[in-house]
Chains A and B, each alone.
Chain A
Amino acid sequence: MTSVQIEVLLQTLISGFLLGGLYALIGIGMTIIMGVMKIINLAHGELMMVAMYIAFILFSLFHIDPYLSVFIATPALFILGVAIQKYLINPVLKVESILPENQVILTVGIGMVLANIATIIFKSDYRQTPVDYATKAWYLSDIWKKAPIELSLSMPWSVSFVIAVLITACLWFFLAKTDTGKSIRATAQDHDAALLMGVNVNRMRVITFGLGSALVGAAGCLFIPIYYIYPDIGGQFTLIAFVITILGGLGSTVGAIIGGIILGLFESLTATYVGMGWAPVGRFVIFVAALVFLPGGVASLLKAKKFGR
């Protein structure tokens, strides 16, 4: 390996890891909803879109940095999620239907409504928050003058990654240490047993949906300094979250984190060594491979080693 090849490999790994961290945050939201509700929330990407627009409005009207809007958009999305669960999904849960998955179909509808409302309000223009630090980066040659290779670390990407890690850590703390968190986990593990133990399952569902929305909302705020928005952006992130949820093992938080990072690294490596046009193919190869060879996802591996959950 020449030094240039090493440079390309390291740069690929760095960007794959950073991307994976952000993917993980998107995936976790879907996975905890999956765990508790046993449904795939197909409006997930659209919820992220809503958060991105909130960050966009705050930036363009009040010049609030997108990273600060995490503290505004996340609670807003929590409330939105709670409202969706309470007033839209819960009523549907009670209805007897031919299709047991009618809540999933409902989430598709919610996603469409959100995307179209955004089209009406914001038009289909591409928007972005042109922050000053968008192209700032740290360079290896600045720190180590005689470095044989040149690596760079994008500032907004790194900041987004660090915040994503912090949020994930807070989530872990919440699920592992607090009463509500434990009740959520109990509901996810065994709905009936939790009910018998006096857990307010309905309330846990509402909180979980809010929590999942809040997480993807935070991800939206972290994405906007490095990406752009338009009303129909949701679909591609729903897809990514879905792949991560399957890859990580349905409902497993740790699985989703590892799944996200695997997906990020895999996409970057495919892009470098196979071709960037193949990245979506890579995404589905890993998706199908996970379904065939590892139906329980990363979570089943973790369980086999008596670790995690």
Chain B
Amino acid sequence: MKHLSFILIISLAVSLFAAPLYAADALDLTIPLPLTGKQAKFGEIMKRSYEMAAEEINAKGGIKGKKLALSFEDSGAKPEIARAIVEKLIDVKKQPLIVGEYTSSCAKAVAAVAEERKTPYLVVASADDDITTQNYKYVFRQNEVNNHYADALVSFLKEIVKPKTIAILYESSAFGTSGATAMERDVQKLGAKIVLKEKFETGAIDFRPILGKVRQAQPDVVYTVSYANEAQLLMKQIKELRVEAKLYTGGAAGFAIPEFIDGAKDAAEYVVSATLWTPQLKYPGTKEYAEKYKSKYGGYPSYHGASAYAAVYVVKDALERAKDWSRDGIRDALKATNIKTAFGPVKFQDKDGYQNQNFMDTLAIQVIKGQFETIWPKQHASAPYVYPVPTWRERR
């Protein structure tokens, strides 16, 4: 009996917590994102940013007088779970708009559901090209696609570094693979040759075997696409093995988060990475958002956060313009979006085979004296670039 009453109390407590915080004048928006598992780090940055934007909007009176009430569902970066969450949101909760997710494979799954159910879906930080090349009418993407992620980096390579040979290392994920394919295409434009293209598993511990091959191939530039921590492990092991190349470069994600510098320390120095956003950008609201985030959570956010923050404003803008809050009304309003956000200008276009895609300036950043500095393109630069970089032997 003691056990039974205990269970009863627990279940009562759980049901109290689980009860929806429903208010008549509130606009409920549930956002699926990864809060557990390997990608949870990015999910968390985005969750905080969504909340910050919602707070700001609510403090200023909400959207058409309604307060925005955000809640989050954890997909654990698993497409099947993301899909189930979104099916529930659309079919049961009748939510007329979906925002969120992070990994490309989850976003793909969600996009398919949203299109099928004719519900607008705003993709916030998933880069795989396929998401906006399916002739979907209801899927909008705010961040740049993988194919153009590295545009600024490529132009930096083209004008300054002029490499003859390139080695590409990439993670075996949708993001890593499409990033590597895009780079392969860009390398042709640079007139360089790919001397090595190697895949590694997510969570790999020891990169020395492929680094041995890199050393054998002697490329001018090493380009790596990976999420999170493989980036810093890789740079540490490159430094240790003294694999010499003229420049080490990375394709956003793991190379553009503060943990990269914290973890790799001096091995991170001079590494150039593509990114979509930095706190140093001069868009309206960028600095305020970045500083507010930093004072609250003790570090600058990555572009994932900025995109999430901006997404709430994009939603606000669309909802304010929409003729009614039906799925199609919101879709039409999103389609006509043309605003400036802390993430940059947002405008959904049909161009180059993409539908409802926001095209934006991408950036190249370099780690200089243990700080990320925007180095390219020149109009966004916060510091002059460092090139040529010293060899590992010289750095001792």
Contacts and interface: CB of A to CB of B under 8 A. Distances in A.
B212 interface: yes
Nearest to B236: A135
A137 to B, nearest CB: 4
A277 B200 contact: yes
Given A126-B228, A271-B209, A277-B200, A152 B262 contact: no
B210 A227 contact: no
B262 A128 contact: yes
B291 interface: no
A308 interface: no
B209 A272 contact: yes
B88 interface: no
A226 interface: yes
B212 A7 contact: yes
Nearest to A154: B240
Interface size, B (range): 35 or more
Contacts of A226: 205
B236 A8 contact: no
Interface residues of A, number: 43
Interface of B: 35-38, 40-41, 43-44, 172, 198-201, 203-210, 212-213, 215-216, 228-229, 232-233, 236-237, 239-242, 259, 262-263, 265-267
Interface of A: 4-5, 7-8, 11-12, 15-16, 19, 115-116, 119, 123-126, 128, 130, 134-137, 139, 150, 152, 154, 226-228, 230-232, 236, 267-269, 271-272, 275-277, 279-280
29 contacts: A8-B215, A8-B216, A11-B208, A12-B209, A15-B206, A115-B36, A119-B35, A124-B44, A126-B259, A128-B262, A130-B263, A130-B265, A135-B240, A139-B242, A226-B205, A227-B233, A228-B232, A228-B233, A228-B263, A230-B40, A232-B36, A269-B209, A272-B212, A276-B198, A276-B209, A277-B198, A277-B200, A279-B200, A279-B201
Given A11-B212, A126-B41, A128-B263, 18 more contacts: A7-B212, A8-B212, A11-B209, A12-B208, A15-B208, A124-B36, A124-B44, A130-B263, A135-B236, A135-B239, A135-B240, A268-B208, A271-B206, A272-B213, A276-B199, A276-B200, A276-B207, A277-B200
